[in-house]
Amino acid sequence: AQSVTQLGSHVSVSEGALVLLRCNYSSSVPPYLFWYVQYPNQGLQLLLKYTTGATLVKGINGFEAEFKKSETSFHLTKPSAHMSDAAEYFCAVSLSNAGKSTFGDGTTLTVKP
Protein backbone atom coordinates (compact mmCIF):
# COMPACT_ATOMS: atom_id res chain seq x y z
CA ALA A 1 0.00 0.00 0.00
CA GLN A 2 1.09 3.56 -0.52
CA SER A 3 0.27 6.87 1.12
CA VAL A 4 1.06 10.54 0.65
CA THR A 5 1.44 13.32 3.18
CA GLN A 6 1.51 16.92 2.13
CA LEU A 7 2.86 19.13 4.90
CA GLY A 8 0.91 22.32 5.18
CA SER A 9 -2.58 22.68 3.79
CA HIS A 10 -1.95 26.36 3.07
CA VAL A 11 1.24 28.06 1.95
CA SER A 12 1.53 31.77 1.35
CA VAL A 13 4.45 33.44 -0.41
CA SER A 14 5.16 36.85 -1.86
CA GLU A 15 5.43 37.33 -5.58
CA GLY A 16 9.00 36.63 -6.62
CA ALA A 17 9.76 34.49 -3.57
CA LEU A 18 10.72 30.83 -3.53
CA VAL A 19 7.88 28.33 -3.58
CA LEU A 20 8.37 25.11 -1.60
CA LEU A 21 5.55 22.60 -1.28
CA ARG A 22 6.35 19.50 0.70
CA CYS A 23 5.37 15.94 -0.05
CA ASN A 24 6.38 12.74 1.70
CA TYR A 25 5.27 9.32 0.64
CA SER A 26 5.34 5.77 1.84
CA SER A 27 5.57 2.88 -0.55
CA SER A 28 6.65 -0.72 -0.31
CA VAL A 29 8.21 -0.65 -3.78
CA PRO A 30 9.77 2.09 -5.91
CA PRO A 31 6.98 4.53 -6.60
CA TYR A 32 5.94 6.73 -9.43
CA LEU A 33 5.41 10.26 -8.15
CA PHE A 34 3.39 13.12 -9.54
CA TRP A 35 2.51 16.71 -8.84
CA TYR A 36 -0.76 18.08 -10.17
CA VAL A 37 -2.16 21.59 -10.07
CA GLN A 38 -5.83 22.49 -9.82
CA TYR A 39 -7.11 25.95 -10.63
CA PRO A 40 -10.57 26.99 -9.41
CA ASN A 41 -13.39 25.12 -11.13
CA GLN A 42 -10.93 23.12 -13.17
CA GLY A 43 -9.72 19.55 -13.29
CA LEU A 44 -6.27 18.48 -12.18
CA GLN A 45 -3.41 19.13 -14.58
CA LEU A 46 -0.07 17.34 -14.45
CA LEU A 47 2.87 19.56 -13.49
CA LEU A 48 5.59 16.91 -13.50
CA LYS A 49 6.26 13.29 -12.82
CA TYR A 50 9.03 10.98 -11.66
CA THR A 51 9.15 7.41 -12.84
CA THR A 52 12.78 6.34 -13.16
CA GLY A 53 16.11 7.92 -14.00
CA ALA A 54 17.10 11.46 -13.08
CA THR A 55 15.86 12.36 -9.64
CA LEU A 56 15.48 16.07 -10.41
CA VAL A 57 12.44 16.47 -12.57
CA LYS A 58 11.46 19.63 -14.38
CA GLY A 59 7.87 20.41 -15.17
CA ILE A 60 5.73 23.09 -16.68
CA ASN A 61 5.54 26.71 -15.54
CA GLY A 62 9.04 26.65 -14.06
CA PHE A 63 8.32 24.05 -11.39
CA GLU A 64 10.65 21.23 -10.49
CA ALA A 65 10.78 18.46 -7.91
CA GLU A 66 13.47 16.19 -6.58
CA PHE A 67 12.94 12.58 -5.67
CA LYS A 68 14.89 11.75 -2.52
CA LYS A 69 14.56 8.09 -1.74
CA SER A 70 16.42 8.30 1.57
CA GLU A 71 13.98 10.93 2.78
CA THR A 72 10.94 9.47 1.00
CA SER A 73 10.23 12.96 -0.25
CA PHE A 74 9.23 14.62 -3.49
CA HIS A 75 9.07 18.33 -2.70
CA LEU A 76 7.93 20.80 -5.33
CA THR A 77 9.84 24.05 -5.85
CA LYS A 78 9.84 27.12 -8.01
CA PRO A 79 12.52 29.81 -7.67
CA SER A 80 10.21 32.78 -8.15
CA ALA A 81 6.48 32.77 -7.53
CA HIS A 82 4.09 34.42 -9.93
CA MET A 83 0.57 35.54 -9.19
CA SER A 84 -0.71 32.99 -11.67
CA ASP A 85 0.76 30.17 -9.54
CA ALA A 86 -2.00 30.61 -6.98
CA ALA A 87 -3.86 27.30 -7.03
CA GLU A 88 -4.18 24.01 -5.20
CA TYR A 89 -1.38 21.50 -5.62
CA PHE A 90 -1.64 17.76 -5.19
CA CYS A 91 1.12 15.24 -4.73
CA ALA A 92 0.31 11.69 -5.79
CA VAL A 93 2.00 8.31 -5.65
CA SER A 94 1.36 5.29 -7.77
CA LEU A 95 2.86 1.85 -7.90
CA SER A 96 1.96 1.11 -11.48
CA ASN A 97 -0.80 2.57 -13.52
CA ALA A 98 -0.60 6.32 -13.07
CA GLY A 99 -4.30 6.86 -12.91
CA LYS A 100 -4.71 4.62 -9.92
CA SER A 101 -2.86 7.00 -7.68
CA THR A 102 -3.14 7.90 -4.07
CA PHE A 103 -3.42 11.65 -3.68
CA GLY A 104 -2.37 13.86 -0.83
CA ASP A 105 -4.84 16.23 0.77
CA GLY A 106 -3.60 19.13 -1.31
CA THR A 107 -1.82 22.40 -0.52
CA THR A 108 -3.38 25.72 -1.39
CA LEU A 109 -0.77 28.18 -2.58
CA THR A 110 -1.48 31.88 -2.14
CA VAL A 111 0.77 34.44 -3.82
CA LYS A 112 0.77 37.92 -2.34
CA PRO A 113 1.61 40.96 -4.48
**Range 24-43, binding other proteins (CB under 8 A):** 32, 34, 36, 41-43
C-beta of 36 vs 111, nearer to other proteins: 36
Which of 106, 107, 109, 111 is the binder for other proteins (CB under 8 A)?
106
Does residue number 55 form part of the binding site for other proteins (CB under 8 A)? no
With helix as H, strand as E and coil as C, how does the chain read? CCEEEEECCEEEEECCCCEEEEEEEECCCCCEEEEEEECCCCCEEEEEEECCCCCEEECHHHCEEEEECCCCEEEEEECCCCHHHCEEEEEEEECCCCCCCEECCCEEEEEEC
- Residue 85 beta carbon to other proteins: minimum distance, rounded to whole angstroms: 19
